[in-house]
Structure 1
Amino acid sequence: MKQHVFRWNAIAAACACWPLAAAADEVRGPMSVVVVSATRAEHASFDLPASIDVVDASQIGDTQPRVNASEALAAVPGLVARDRQNYAQDLQISSRGFGARSAFGVRGVRLVADGIPATMPDGQGQAATFNLDMAERIEVLRGPFSALYGNHSGGVVQLFTRDPKGPPSIETSFAAGSDGLRKTDVNAEGRSGGIGYLLDASRFDTDGYRDHSAATRDQAYAKLSLEPSATSRLVLTASGLRQDDTQDPLGVTWATYQRDPRAGEIDGTDPQTPKRTLAERYDTRKSIDHKQAGLSWESRFGPDRLQVTAWGGNRRVIQYQSFSRAFQAPASHSGGVIDFDRDFYGIDANWRAVRELAGGTLRATVGLELARSSDARQGFENFLGDSFGVKGRLRRDEENEVTGTDPYLQLEWERGKWVFTGGLRHSRVKFDVKDGFLANGDDSGSVVYRHTTPLAGVLYRLTPTLNVYASAARGFEAPTLNEVFYSGSGGGFNFGLEPAVGTHLEAGLKAMPAPGVRVNAALFQVRTRDELVVDSASGGRTSYRNASATLRQGGELSLDAEFGAGWNARLALSALKAVYDEGFGAVPEGSRLPGIPKTSLYGEFGWKEAAGRFGAALETVANSRVFAEDTNTATPAPGYAIVNARVQASQQFGGWRLRQFARLNNLFDRGYIGSVIVGDTNRRFYEAAPGRNWILGASARYQF
């Protein structure tokens, strides 16, 4: 029955978008989108042999609280961004299936903000560091072109904050909603005499939809832009994120989810309080203090350009986990409290030259990216005496360093109706471990992962409004630092893990069949060897192994349209077959990769008054079922489809601009699982999503 609900809602969303065909004669004009992610320079996305979508500022902020990137990314085909209702573990983001098995944070997908990586050199990133309040747009790059960003680039999600402009202004906004959601933001900006500034500070609070999931998040951001000359520009940025004692509700078993989607898993080892959950007993929580700064310098020499970006920062994390006391005894155990202090920094310098060659135009970019992170990492038992959820005896003490060195070259030659693209990037990732806790042996050591990524692409302009293209690349994913922490034999670091290497192929078309209507379609295939999967997980420690070959095949379709009287529609449809191409262990050939829906759909039908004073829309989000582990024997998270409604309004009174919005999410109060924790040995895979919930927001901006 649930599968039928998914199909009918998906069909309804598609039908909602269908009137655009009949209204094609009334549309306003073609939509031109300029991006930089694929070529590192301004380029019309319509003329790139790559799958790339842009989420603009209105989609990010007009009718959203701007808390999670998943709010804005739902409309991007091929990308799955899940709000886990758990701010201790961040979002789950996967691109064409890459990154779906991440237990926390984002891996397999590269995150970038204002040209500065939000992904560490080992491949683990944090989407929570994105400042959505100041976002101008988010570019999402998928397929072969993303491989040119190196390690863990199954896709690229790049955020760009707005450039300060105009006379000085100040703005404040407030949003409130279900489950104690509250978000307050204050920002100021202005520009004069070639100097622009942007300042922002916000606080977000929630009681949480799930038990033991309350969170408070403080963010700050500053941007200073200078133009020393007519051909040069300097941009300085600084940002901070702080979350103190963010509660972790953990995953639950299927039986617990069916009993109560909000409930935590009962701790069956606690006879004194038999109804207390694991999260309550161990007071599972996480505190984060993240600060970073960066600069970007750009100089133009006629058509040529030099760009240098440098960054540095510090990330401090302490996390209290849960596991049975039975596993506390072994001396090899690292404990249930993770405590690390990380310094990170890097530089990316590139030169872009434009020359006439053989009757066409050649654009060449050559660059070098260097990045390094250094952790002072300790582990402690998460009990002391008879008290749980407190820092106990030391069980781990080490220094971890990860360095990345990536030279790269990208070429584009355009002549007439043809555009040829080529690229090459060599990635070298080195892990160094110095073990200072020798009671369980010396786990010091190092390992180096290397890979050269080639790219080739071609685009042909069949007509001024129809382009076809094809591209191919070789990408790779080295193990992250967390994935080499343990070996399955019970020893220390698993330096024997190999990187996963994949061959990416894509073919597609981009069309504007009528004024104001744009269609993108792509077919793709990725064959990967040495996929990294969970080997064993018990007593708070997880080890990984290299599995067999995998196959990802699928297609994506996106459609955007604007037509008469302010009506608009959007459709994003994805289909993905992701399977193990060879069996391994207890996993048979043909098993589906966990955490990846076979089909996903986003549909939107809306209206906006010509002057922009009023607007409303209906949205449909639908996903097919998702398996939670490699053998596909555990109960999969069922497919679902939900409908959201939103309205907005704005007014102008002299120097004041006022805005309001209201959202009603999950209009029909569907119960569903929003995300799964892949491969959890305790079978606590499931993380429930909210039923019907509301958000109200308002802002006031004054320009002097």
Structure 2
Amino acid sequence: MKNLLLFLLFLTSLNIQAQIQLKITDQITGLPLENVRARSENRSFQKTNASGILAFPGENLRISFALEGYETLERYFEAGEHEVLLIPTVMNLGSVTVTAFDSERPLLEQSAAIVQVTERDFSRFNEISPVNAFNQKAGVRIEERAPASYRVSIRGSSLRSPFGVRNVKVYWNEVPFTAPDGTTALNLLDLANVRSSEVVKGPSGSIYGAGNGGAISLFSQPSLTGNRVSADFLAGDFGLSKYRLGISQQLGEGGIEASFVSQKSDGYRDHSAVDRQVFQLGSFFPISEKQEIRTQFLVSDLDYQIPGALNADQLAADPTQARPGSAAQNSSISQQAVLLSLGHLYRFSEKTSNNTTLYLNTNDFENPFILDYKKELGFGYGLRTKFGYNGKLAGKSLRLVAGGEYQNSLTDAQNFGNRAGVADTVRFADKLRAYQGFLFQQAEWNLTEALLFTLGLSENFSGYEIDRQIDATGGATGIQSRDFDPVIIPRAALNYRLNSFSSVYGSVSGGFSPPTIDEIRTNEGSVNLDLEAEKGTNFELGYRLGREKLNLELIAYYLKLDQTITTYTNENGVVLFRNAGSTDQKGIEASLDYALLRNAGGFFKDVLIGTAYTGQFFTFKDYQKQDNDFSGNDLTGVPPNNLVTRLDIRTRPGIYANLTHQFTDEIPLNDANTVYQDTYNLVNLRLGWVKNLGQWDLELFAGVDNLLDESYSLGNDLNAFGGRYYQPAPTRNWYGGVKLGWNY
């Protein structure tokens, strides 16, 4: 009996001593990775040593891994020795997986122009806006006419966006962030609310509905890399200050994440201050092996002043001045918004699943302008659902996706006179309704091991209702509505894998973009129900090469756009809209990334270089207004050439440098092509030091924007009355800050 007890005690001690020993290495170089943060499901936290090794007691544990510059990873491990390969965030395209078009595949297998913008891209700059990070990607451009006033252009799609984001569909954590009227208040989000993003370039109506420009998916889902408290602070020229507080808490197999961000600045120009606070609370909870629940709660409070555009004489005299009258009338925007969403994933089987997201939002908007004062109070709701199936057809892999999306918004909108920045007598008041919905279906079939065929289709419907309650001019009141005819949008594509590291693809896709309610109902009270929706057809060819140290992407496309919507301003500065016949938009995009060093053993750990070229040769094909024939002219607001070059250096001691140069060609500012913005060269530099101190992470950084002190406008007013085209961007300016994180 005594021997039996000793034997049982021996077995128990073996079980107690069971452990999981891990060696973490770089997938490309095979070299060990130091200071990788690893956390087990029982919340035990460790970091790898200089040999990339750590150990957890126990067996059958789920362990997550995180290291700056690498994709996060989560896996189950049994007792024993294991090697874990982490994937660098900048590496060969064959290992970079994207989820655009509801197709989770490596980028080499995607039959569309898709680009990722990651945390590493954001942290190359000052992190106060998305502008610089997105603008380093071929075919993508965000303009900032004034601080926090964004205009997104994917392949020149900002032509009809005098303010705000239009003609591009934006999602945030799978929630449609674009309103059903087609506008997107991107400035309600801070970069702290965006961990990564994917940009689909060109018409994407087969999956994402309205928009010829493309789609942007933003993600900030809670990470399961452990419990963490973090604080960031940044300060810079022109009264800039920003701080962020964040917490990430693992709860069982799920977790919650909360953050609060405050950003303020006085602005480079007179009357261009910004004040924004954003609170976000997100959660992720696996209910069972079959079900997952996700929630998001966002509260945003934004105030920013609008300095207005200048003419050439005003620009030459003093680029920091505001447009006369802007300050006196308190031209500005105040907006408070709340968004609540609930997402549910259900796996019926290994082959079939459903993912549904519901959302509610509210919006309180005030916009004093030089000529009027606008107030809007809105409420919206919507959902997006999709069913997925992974199986086989004729022995070949088959993926099917089918679903739908619906959005509805109700708004009380009032326009007043503006007396020294105070709302005066009401001019007109409307109750507005906008709705938009579509059904979509997509099939991906591997005809051979190397050839993937994609066929997608969506059926779209949308409309507006304008119920005029008050018209001080004595005009008619009552309901006016516009329902756009249902539109069927197809997409067909082929992707052929030439070998394990390269592929070619071709696609034909359709798109459409109805006018937004702000384009139909303008600030001076007119309602233009005759404005037609844009319709486009896009033909595209692409080549991708992804090796261990080299990424190359070449894309050529031709977009034919009918009923193109363009802007012009009247003598009072009110922006109006009109259809301009058709346009021909031919373009090429080239991106090259090369790793001179990747996780090297010497002083220099990483040395990465990259370049992105965008050629946009867009012209009006058929555009005649009254006695003016603009056919053959270059498309307004689109630079024909743009070139971005990047250099990133990281060292073993933690010192890093990020250098970016951007060349932008001259930009036509009116349809007649008689006024241009000059070419400019923009250089940005950020230096920093990152250090891991046990459970603490520390980063110190400083940088300079517009190092060459160029005079330019990052977003002009197009076809402006009185020559008020120019929105001067800041001159050379400095910033610096600190980031501190505690992993507990």
TM-score norm. by structure 1 comes to 0.88
Is residue 317 from structure 1 mapped to residue 365 from structure 2 by the alignment? yes
Is residue 102 from structure 1 mapped to residue 161 from structure 2 by the alignment? yes
Is residue 507 from structure 1 mapped to residue 507 from structure 2 by the alignment? no
Map 1:241-640 to 2 at 5 A: 241-244=300-303, 246-265=304-323, 277-300=324-347, 301-323=349-371, 336-383=372-419, 388-414=420-446, 415-438=448-471, 439-442=474-477, 444-449=479-484, 450-486=486-522, 492-512=526-546, 514-534=547-567, 537-539=570-572, 541-564=574-597, 565=600, 566-585=606-625, 586-610=628-652, 613-633=654-674, 635-640=675-680
Map 1:2-151 to 2 at 5 A: 30-60=92-122, 62-87=123-148, 90-145=149-204, 148-151=207-210
Secondary structure class of the residue paired with 2:195? strand
Is residue 155 from structure 1 mapped to residue 214 from structure 2 by the alignment? yes
Q: Distance in 2 between matches of 1:50 and 1:31?
A: 14
Deviation for aligned residue 1:67: 2.4
Structure 2 equivalent of residue 3 of structure 1: none
Q: Percent identity?
A: 24
Structure 1 residues 162 and 32 mapped into 2: Cα distance closer, same or farther (>3 Å)? farther
Secondary structure class of the residue paired with 1:687? coil
Which residue identity is paired with 2:344?
A: W
State whether residues 151 and 476 of structure 1, in contact with CA within 8 Å, keep that contact through their aligned partners in structure 2: yes
State whether residues 656 and 701 of structure 1, in contact with CA within 8 Å, keep that contact through their aligned partners in structure 2: yes
Structure 2 equivalent of residue 702 of structure 1: 742
Which residue identity is paired with 2:475?
A: N
State whether residues 246 and 260 of structure 2, in contact with CA within 8 Å, keep that contact through their aligned partners in structure 1: yes
Structure 1 equivalent of residue 248 of structure 2: 189
Secondary structure class of the residue paired with 1:392? strand
Structure 1 residues 540 and 379 mapped into 2: Cα distance closer, same or farther (>3 Å)? farther
Structure 1 residues 130 and 411 mapped into 2: Cα distance closer, same or farther (>3 Å)? farther
State whether residues 143 and 506 of structure 1, in contact with CA within 8 Å, keep that contact through their aligned partners in structure 2: no
Match of 1:676 among 699, 716, 724: 716
Secondary structure class of the residue paired with 1:148? helix
Secondary structure class of the residue paired with 1:316? strand
Structure 2 equivalent of residue 327 of structure 1: none
Deviation for aligned residue 1:536: 5.4
State whether residues 63 and 663 of structure 1, in contact with CA within 8 Å, keep that contact through their aligned partners in structure 2: no
Deviation for aligned residue 1:65: 3.9
Q: Distance in 2 between matches of 1:492 and 1:105?
A: 20
State whether residues 224 and 254 of structure 2, in contact with CA within 8 Å, keep that contact through their aligned partners in structure 1: no
State whether residues 205 and 489 of structure 2, in contact with CA within 8 Å, keep that contact through their aligned partners in structure 1: no
Deviation for aligned residue 1:162: 4.1
Q: Distance in 2 between matches of 1:94 and 1:516?
A: 30
> Any idea what the Cα deviations from partners look like across 1:358-380, whole Å, max 9, x if unmatched?
23111010001010111100010
Structure 1 equivalent of residue 35 of structure 2: none
Aligned residues: 642
Which stretch shifts more, 125-134 or 45-54?
Answer: 125-134
State whether residues 211 and 512 of structure 2, in contact with CA within 8 Å, keep that contact through their aligned partners in structure 1: yes
State whether residues 37 and 158 of structure 1, in contact with CA within 8 Å, keep that contact through their aligned partners in structure 2: no
Which residue identity is paired with 1:447?
A: R
Q: Distance in 2 between matches of 1:619 and 1:535?
A: 34
Q: Distance in 1 between matches of 2:185 and 2:206?
A: 19
State whether residues 691 and 697 of structure 2, in contact with CA within 8 Å, keep that contact through their aligned partners in structure 1: yes
Deviation for aligned residue 1:145: 4.0
Which residue identity is paired with 1:685?
A: Y
Unaligned runs of 5+ in 1: 1-26, 266-276, 324-335
Which protein has the larger Cα radius of gyration, Structure 1 or Structure 2? 2
Secondary structure class of the residue paired with 2:138? coil
TM-score norm. by structure 2 comes to 0.84
Q: Distance in 2 between matches of 1:134 and 1:442?
A: 42
State whether residues 329 and 418 of structure 2, in contact with CA within 8 Å, keep that contact through their aligned partners in structure 1: yes
Structure 1 residues 605 and 491 mapped into 2: Cα distance closer, same or farther (>3 Å)? closer
Which stretch shifts more, 139-148 or 173-182?
Answer: 139-148
Q: Distance in 2 between matches of 1:47 and 1:568?
A: 24
Which residue identity is paired with 1:418?
A: L
Structure 1 residues 475 and 458 mapped into 2: Cα distance closer, same or farther (>3 Å)? same
Structure 1 residues 43 and 610 mapped into 2: Cα distance closer, same or farther (>3 Å)? farther
Unaligned runs of 5+ in 2: 1-88, 601-605
Structure 1 residues 152 and 537 mapped into 2: Cα distance closer, same or farther (>3 Å)? farther
Secondary structure class of the residue paired with 2:340? strand
Q: Distance in 2 between matches of 1:671 and 1:640?
A: 8
Which residue identity is paired with 1:428?
A: F
Q: Distance in 1 between matches of 2:261 and 2:94?
A: 33
